[in-house]
Amino acid sequence: MEKVEIIKLIENTKAVNGQKIISLLLPGLKFSLDEPAAIKQSRSQIGGAPKIFDQNYPSLHDVPIIFLAQISLDDIHYLNGLLPKSGLLCFFILLNDIGNRYPDQKNEFKVVFVNSTIQGNVNGKSEEIPAFPISFVEQYTFPSYHENLIVKNNISDEDLFLMESLEMELQSASALTDIGHQILGHPNAVQGTVRFWWAAKYLGIDHIDAITQEQMDRINREEDQFVLLLQLDFSDPKIGIEHFGDSVAYFGIHEEDLAKENFDNVILVMQNT
């Protein structure tokens, strides 16, 4: 649905905060996983092995972390004004047992920007996850109900209900999961907010249960400065990674790092129900 159509729907509701709701709209790219037979025609994929990667796989204590996804920026450059216009984003994550937590600490995951279109030799483990090509669809998104943008704009429960209804109308009829896969746009949080946790981790604020007002203010200043690089919903049966259950991975990057094409500071937040 085009933005002008969404705006018309909102205006027709006569909502008091209609213009504020419209201002929160953010374009994203939802995607689904196609059948493996189409993999040769796609440069964006989940699983398999990276098609263009001329360096060793990232590793932790000499154990390679597995290839998770590849996004071809050449294929989506006309749909975004934030990411580099060409090259690849390659995502890696640790699948080894590390106890009762997610592999969301530095060096347990990695996002590598490959500014090349030349086929390289893949050095490392591969094919840990079956390869599925990706099909993108542009879709407008709203912030989740606990995001700071909701508070700053005095969005009411009635407004939230309207936004949720609109999101259900916008959602693809072919979607297999409630949260879904996505890049850019507002992250679709399982637990109400993703941006808060991106900012807290970025600032090194670990003890949220004892957070000070000063720390909260710092988080609030930073949380809207993050860009969603990849939202991957592991409840999708095609992915087939039981290790993460029905959790969702949210890879985010601060706008300042993105402007410098510095993907070393990407933050990973994982949530489940």
Per-residue pLDDT of the chain (273 residues; tens, 9 = 90+): 778 888 888 888 888 888 888 988 899 999 888 776 545 556 888 888 776 665 666 777 777 788 899 999 988 877 767 889 888 899 999 887 777 888 889 889 999 998 865 554 444 445 567 788 888 888 899 999 999 999 999 888 988 988 888 888 777 544 555 788 999 999 999 999 999 999 999 999 988 888 899 999 999 999 999 999 999 999 888 887 778 888 999 999 999 999 999 999 999 999 998
Closest to 235 (Cα-Cα) out of 243, 247, 224: 247
Report the C-alpha gap between 107 and 104 in whole angstroms.
8
The predicted-structure confidence for 41-98, as pLDDT tens digits, reads as follows 568 888 887 766 656 667 777 777 888 999 999 888 777 678 898 888 999 998 877 7
Q: Name the 3-class secondary structure at 267.
A: strand
Task: Return the structure tokens found at 199.
Answer: 């900012």
Q: Name the 3-class secondary structure at 51.
A: coil
Report the C-alpha gap between 157 and 145 in whole angstroms.
9
Report the C-alpha gap between 167 and 174 in whole angstroms.
14
Name residue 247's amino acid.
Answer: S
pLDDT score, position 179: 85
Report the C-alpha gap between 133 and 125 in whole angstroms.
19
Report the sign of the C-alpha dihedral through residues 59, 64, 69, 74, in that order: positive
pLDDT score, position 10: 86
CATH class of 26-141+171-271: mainly beta
Distance spanning both ends of the chain, measured CA to CA: 29
How far from chain centre, in Å, is Cα 151?
22
pLDDT score, position 138: 87
Q: Can you give the three-state secondary structure of 132-185, one letter per residue?
A: EEEEEEEEEECCCCCCHHHHHCCCCHHHHHHHHHHHHHHCCCCCCCCCCEEEEC
The predicted-structure confidence for 93-119, as pLDDT tens digits, reads as follows 988 777 788 888 988 999 999 886 555
CA atoms within 13 A on the CB side of 154: 4
Q: Which helix (H) or strand (E) holds 198?
A: helix 195-202
pLDDT score, position 124: 46
pLDDT score, position 174: 46
Q: Which helix (H) or strand (E) holds 201?
A: helix 195-202
Report the sign of the C-alpha dihedral through residues 32, 185, 224, 69, in that order: positive
pLDDT score, position 169: 77
Instruction: Give how far Cα 22 sits from Cα of 7, 9, 16, 34, Å.
Output: 6, 10, 12, 32
